[in-house]
Amino acid sequence: MEVRYITSAEAADYQKVSAASFIWKFNAEEDSYVDFPVLAAFDNGKLVAGVELFDFRSNYCGKFLEAIVISGVCSLPEYRRTGCVRKIFEEVGKIAVENDWTFGFLHPFSISCYEKFGFANLNRMFSIKVPFEQLKNIPRSTDVELYNGEQFAELSELHAKCALKENLMTLREDKKHFCDTPFEEADYTYIHRDKNGTADGYVRFKVNRPNDLVVDDLYVLTPDALNGIVGFLRGYDGIVKTLIVNTQYPGSPFACLTDRLDGVVYETKGGVAGRIYNMQKLLESNIYPEKSGRFRIKSLDEFEQNQGIFEVEYKDGKATVSRKADGDYDIALTAPAAVRLLLAGEGHTAESAVYIDGVEINGNADDFFRAFPFRQTRFTDSKWSE
């Protein structure tokens, strides 16, 4: 079985595989092209499976590292469970080295399925639904400006500042991530400004009359920005009853604002799965404690670049990382377990980590757990295919 990027002439074949996999109607005039890279598997020249790949830069400990988002995973129904998708994911691991991807993301239909390819759940997001009448304590506000595309540079810079506050948040360096035709799409983005006129938060939402105002993006740098945006959204309480804010997590600004209100409904919205493609770079990019420490990870990853014993010695917030083929270790991790402990920011201890499948603690691993404390982590960018 051959795995490679498709050519423009093969775009319609890929779209047909996607149509057969997800059951949507293929239109020869509209669906015979793709404007993003597609990595596909071929059986004797026949395209039988494919995935869409989107480059991103994602924050990890204050550094924006190269990352990949995998989307549209599909195969012909008659080729399911034949190994064609696995071949594609194996190839992604190889080209990750060439493209300097440190980690990758996808929206899993099944966590257990993608664990077989080294992925693990990163965050468990939820939506928050609150009646507008419960927000009366937030003063009404009009300190906002409608985004129309002319403020792209400013909005992109604001998003980058927000991204630095939370691990795995991505940069938005393309206009496709923001709607600049609000009246045509009924998709509105408003920028909040502080007293000096500096952008310090933004919100993107749609109104579903007569019931809900639905927020998909809410990013703020200060409590004043959060209160100002919510105070602005209160202006819609005459045409809708409730405010719904998506892609929230425990400890997010809006969750903190509403955690003492009555009538609030939380609904699980699934999450995002991640995978580490460059263990060495991830360990080198981590922020370490001021106190000195040392640990050795035995990585049980199937990818060659992540195999072996990674020895880390740290002091004053920095570390040296070396790798060798074999030797003693303090903790052994499968690829999914490494995601949980190194990437997800869950802040495990030796006592809690033993319940995670794929973790083996071999002696004292206190220095390891000290190096990976709880960190606010949010990957929410689902707009890669717009």
Is 280-371 the same fold as 2-106?
A: no
Q: Indicate the average pLDDT of the chain.
A: 94
CA 247 to centroid of chain Cα atoms: 11
Please give the Cα distance from 294 to 315 (Å, whole number).
Answer: 9
pLDDT confidence of residue 232: 98
pLDDT at residue 330 tops 50: yes
Extract the tokens encoding 78: 């008659």
pLDDT at residue 121 tops 80: yes
pLDDT confidence of residue 384: 47
Q: What are phi and psi of 9, to 5 degrees?
A: -70, -15
pLDDT confidence of residue 385: 40
pLDDT confidence of residue 284: 97
Which CATH architecture fits 2-106?
3-Layer(aba) Sandwich (3.40)
Domain 126-269 CATH class label: alpha beta
Structural domain spans, the chain: 2-106, 126-269, 280-371
- Scored b (16 or more CB within 10 A) or e, 272-305 reads bbbbbbbbbbbbebbbbeeeebebbbbbbbebeb
pLDDT at residue 148 tops 70: yes
pLDDT confidence of residue 382: 54
Place 383 in a pLDDT band, splitting at 50, 70 and 90: low
Kindly state the average pLDDT of the residues 168-193: 94
Q: Which residue has the tokens 């927020």?
A: 215
Which CATH architecture fits 280-371?
2-Layer Sandwich (3.30)
Region label for 61, one of left (φ > 0), alpha (ψ between -120 and 50) or beta (otherwise): left
Kindly state the average pLDDT of the residues 137-151: 95
Please give the Cα distance from 256 to 268 (Å, whole number).
Answer: 17
The full DSSP string for 212-249 is: EEEEEEEEESSHHHHHHHHHHHGGGTTT-SEEEEEEE-
User: For residue range 156-172, what is the model confidence (pLDDT) as tens digits?
Assistant: 999 999 999 999 999 99
End-to-end CA distance of the chain: 31
pLDDT at residue 201 tops 50: yes
CA dihedral 299, 303, 307, 311 (to 10 degrees): -70
Kindly state the average pLDDT of the residues 41-62: 96
pLDDT at residue 283 tops 60: yes
Burial of 209 (0-12, 13-18, 19+ CB in 10 A): exposed
pLDDT confidence of residue 386: 37
Kindly state the average pLDDT of the residues 214-241: 97
Asked whether the beta carbons of 338 and 300 are under 8 A apart, the reply is no
